[in-house]
A and B are shown apart, each in its own frame.
Chain A
Amino acid sequence: MSMVTIRNLTRTFDVSKPWLNRVLERLPKQTLTAVSDVTFEIEEKTVYALVGESGSGKSTIGKILVGLLPPSNGAVEVEGVDLAHETDKAVLSDLRSNIQMIFQDPYASLNPRWRVKDIIVEPVRARGGKVERLAEKLLEQVGLSALDADKFPHQFSGGQRQRICVARALASEPRLIVCDEPTSALDVSVQAQVLNLMSDLKENLGLTYLFISHDLTVVRHMADRIGVLYLGQLVEEASPDTLFETPKHPYTQMLLAAAPKLDQFGREEEPPQGEIPDPINPPPGCVFNPRCPLAADRCRSERPVLRRVGETRVACHMVEG
């Protein structure tokens, strides 16, 4: 059974000028569609990764899943409960403690005035749970010392801080953790330590991850299933090996070709052209058409739907099958 089901999820933001400016300058209201009609499922005890460049909507989906943002349209179901429409507070509260989040910046996500033990037990204390010896136990679980519980965040390095964030996320014994770029701020050797820790915890505690990242090599290493986002739309979804060996969508192909590789010394390849278009005025039809080498008339008028081609799900008119 899938743990998370996201169906036709759409999220728009109002980016209009202030009311007075709109009236005086006769400007229309403007909306930015950060996530547009995204559908996917996350199986229990697996890692689902979302990749994409900035502005692709990957963090917005993560925030909607943990409840930091409400969806504009569509459904987010976790263990059969619809997060946006469930009205029973007890059910929601129960579910919320089952979902935790790890953020990108371990410097900004820890309160500098709190002791580490208070930071870690906060998710439990807020719900009136028992916190005795909890921080010490969790610190040891993430590879720090129980003696660190009385220290302050500034006494730790970036990698150690990210371990504290992991410990805090584990405090309420969640089943699903949303990891938003958990290692982007870390050096590669420290990144390896944190990724290994996350894999171990997943095995030992039976966790499910939604892993958000822009780094394709990290995603390939961690994920069981990968969704590629472009301008708020899911353009391709497949298992890591299938995606990396036979990418179907032209955007995925471009992304894989552009990623720097360790074994291609002095590569002289024509880099991809163009940049992500303005999300306030996305191009009509397929959003990738202005940069796509295969774009035909149909791509400029009709948005492709996500359909199954073999083991992959892909949204492109030009893919055969």
Chain B
Amino acid sequence: MTEPVLSVRDLVVEIPTRHGVLRPVDGVSYDLAPGEILGVVGESGAGKSMTGNAVIGLLDRPAHIASGEILLNGRRIDNLPLREMRKIRGREIGMVFQDPLTSLNPLIPIGEQLSETIETHLGVSKAEARKRALASLEEVGIPAAAERLDSYPHEFSGGMRQRVVIALALCAEPSLVIADEPTTALDVSVQAQIIALLKRLCRDHGTSVILVTHDMGVIAEAADRVAVMYAGQLVEIGPVRDVLTHPKHPYTDGLVGSMPANSHGQARLRQIPGAMPRLNALPEGCPFNPRCPVADATCRAAPRPALTEGAACWHPIGEHA
């Protein structure tokens, strides 16, 4: 097997509070192969974004990495000093956030923002950087790119802005891109354009992507593998087709089943009872046990199940069938 681009080992993120220590990410491990798109799904508060932020070292204090390792191309990056980490951000890891307006500086023309990034990270001349900025805008499909180099972000529509952000994330040719809900703020037809663009660019450049989203449809179309998170833990991971058609963890099963697209004309949707527990009131044992249809005494007793053979569950679906 080829060496993974990114390797996350037993990552734990902690937030100390007056009422005890919260763990929004609790023991997450995964590998990302070169050129692979890994989808990360889960409900709000499951720790999807927090895991991504930990990887690029953008955790807001007082949240911090309490234990575990993050290796990028074999090099440990979770304990790097701020200055070193800044060199990696943008150069080796690109970011695409949900709201393109917050990732672009409204006072600087987009061409300048792109060429500045290229100049800083690749150390080329100003003229060369501008040439590359133009090429990258053309690559993401901005019409009349040469004339729009000097336009400001507000002169673009939402979909075009997100294209600029993708150009910005990829212009220094990073080996990994973290896309955090990149299409949530966009309309369906524009969303399809952005997903297709992200897929094409990553294939052309051999870039790996962590695609964080709550939209299963997007995951199904874009991702190679999918990781399902619940209450800060990875509960299931596997090839996207297997996980979505034959989920092993009851939570994944409930999540897939509760989608209106899977209602098959029935009057009622399948629903998961209750809500995700708060981080300061996690139940003993498996964190999903109060909502789980197959939970028994084993599930309610410590310790919680480990992630083996794709699912962190004492009674994975399809085992004893």
Q: Which residues of A contact B (CB under 8 A)?
A: 53-54, 157-160, 187-193, 195-196, 199, 214-218, 220-222, 254-255, 258-267, 269-273, 275-276
Complex: how many Å from CA A254 to CA B215? 20
Q: Do A262 and B220 contact each other (CB < 8 Å), given the known contacts A192-B271, A196-B271, A254-B189?
A: yes
Complex: how many Å from CA A92 to CA B259? 40
- Nearest-neighbor residue (CB-CB) of B273 within chain A: A193
* Given A159-B275, A192-B272, A266-B224, 19 new contacts (CB under 8 A): A160-B275, A187-B43, A187-B44, A188-B216, A188-B255, A189-B272, A215-B260, A220-B261, A258-B192, A259-B188, A260-B217, A262-B259, A262-B262, A263-B245, A271-B193, A272-B189, A272-B192, A275-B190, A276-B187
Q: Which of B37-60 contact A (CB under 8 A)?
A: 43-44
- Nearest-neighbor residue (CB-CB) of B218 within chain A: A260
Which residue in A54, A192, A259, A271 is a CB contact (below 8 Å) of B258?
A192
Task: Please classify how large the interface on chain B is, using the bins under 10, 10 to 19, 20 to 34, 35 or more.
Answer: 35 or more
Say if the beta carbon of B66 comes within 8 Å of chain A.
no
Complex: how many Å from CA A276 to CA B186? 12
Residues of B within 8 A of A273 (CB): 193
Residues of B within 8 A of A193 (CB): 271, 273
Q: Which of B263-314 contact A (CB under 8 A)?
A: 263, 267-273, 275
Q: Which of B226-276 contact A (CB under 8 A)?
A: 240-241, 244-245, 254-256, 258-263, 267-273, 275
Q: Do A221 and B260 contact each other (CB < 8 Å), given the known contacts A196-B269, A196-B271, A258-B189?
A: yes
Residues of B within 8 A of A189 (CB): 43, 254-255, 258, 271-272
The list of the 4 closest CB pairs from A to B, nearest first, reads A260-B217, A192-B258, A271-B192, A53-B187
Say if the beta carbon of B196 comes within 8 Å of chain A.
yes
Cβ contact within 8 Å between B217 and A261: yes
Say if the beta carbon of B195 comes within 8 Å of chain A.
yes
Q: Do A260 and B221 contact each other (CB < 8 Å), given the known contacts A189-B255, A195-B260, A221-B260?
A: yes
Which residue in B43, B188, B270 is a CB contact (below 8 Å) of A53?
B188
Distance (Å) between the CB of A37 and the closest chain B CB?
23
Which residue in B191, B221, B267 is a CB contact (below 8 Å) of A266?
B221
Cβ contact within 8 Å between A261 and B192: no
Complex: how many Å from CA A220 to CA B193? 23
Q: Which of B148-165 contact A (CB under 8 A)?
A: 157, 159-160
Which residue in B43, B160, B268 is a CB contact (below 8 Å) of A190?
B43
- Nearest-neighbor residue (CB-CB) of A260 within chain B: B217
Cβ contact within 8 Å between A191 and B258: yes
Complex: how many Å from CA A295 to CA B235? 49
Complex: how many Å from CA A274 to CA B160? 10
Residues of B within 8 A of A272 (CB): 189, 192-193
Cβ contact within 8 Å between A265 and B272: no
Q: Do A260 and B220 contact each other (CB < 8 Å), given the known contacts A190-B43, A192-B269?
A: yes
Cβ contact within 8 Å between A196 and B268: yes
- Nearest-neighbor residue (CB-CB) of B244 within chain A: A262
Say if the beta carbon of B214 comes within 8 Å of chain A.
yes
Q: Do A260 and B272 contact each other (CB < 8 Å), given the known contacts A188-B259, A199-B267, A221-B263?
A: no
Distance (Å) between the CB of B36 and the closest chain A CB?
12
Q: Which of B172-222 contact A (CB under 8 A)?
A: 187-193, 195-196, 214-218, 220-222
Distance (Å) between the CB of B101 and the closest chain A CB?
15
Complex: how many Å from CA A62 to CA B159? 26
Complex: how many Å from CA A271 to CA B192? 6
Complex: how many Å from CA A214 to CA B183? 14
- Nearest-neighbor residue (CB-CB) of A218 within chain B: B260
Q: Do A220 and B192 contact each other (CB < 8 Å), given the known contacts A187-B214, A189-B255?
A: no
Distance (Å) between the CB of A106 and the closest chain B CB?
13
Residues of B within 8 A of A217 (CB): 259-261
Distance (Å) between the CB of B184 and the closest chain A CB?
10
* Interface pairs (21), CB distance under 8 Å: A187-B44, A190-B43, A192-B259, A193-B271, A193-B273, A195-B269, A199-B267, A216-B188, A217-B259, A220-B261, A258-B189, A260-B192, A260-B215, A262-B256, A266-B224, A270-B196, A271-B193, A271-B195, A272-B192, A272-B193, A273-B193
Cβ contact within 8 Å between B240 and A265: yes
Q: Do A192 and B216 contact each other (CB < 8 Å), given the known contacts A259-B188, A260-B221, A271-B193?
A: no
Complex: how many Å from CA A258 to CA B269? 24
- Nearest-neighbor residue (CB-CB) of B143 within chain A: A274
Complex: how many Å from CA A205 to CA B10? 52
- Nearest-neighbor residue (CB-CB) of A195 within chain B: B269
Residues of B within 8 A of A160 (CB): 275
Cβ contact within 8 Å between A261 and B187: no
Distance (Å) between the CB of A266 and the closest chain B CB?
7
Residues of B within 8 A of A270 (CB): 196
Cβ contact within 8 Å between A259 and B214: no
Complex: how many Å from CA A215 to CA B224? 24
Residues of A within 8 A of B195 (CB): 260, 271
Complex: how many Å from CA A109 to CA B47? 27
Complex: how many Å from CA A216 to CA B192? 14
Cβ contact within 8 Å between A265 and B259: no
Cβ contact within 8 Å between B188 and A214: yes
Residues of A within 8 A of B214 (CB): 187-188
Complex: how many Å from CA A189 to CA B262? 12
Complex: how many Å from CA A192 to CA B263? 10
Complex: how many Å from CA A220 to CA B260? 8
Q: Do A221 and B187 contact each other (CB < 8 Å), given the known contacts A189-B254, A262-B220?
A: no
Complex: how many Å from CA A157 to CA B45? 11
Cβ contact within 8 Å between B269 and A265: no
- Nearest-neighbor residue (CB-CB) of B141 within chain A: A273
Residues of A within 8 A of B191 (CB): 258, 260
Residues of A within 8 A of B260 (CB): 191-192, 195, 215, 217-218, 220-222
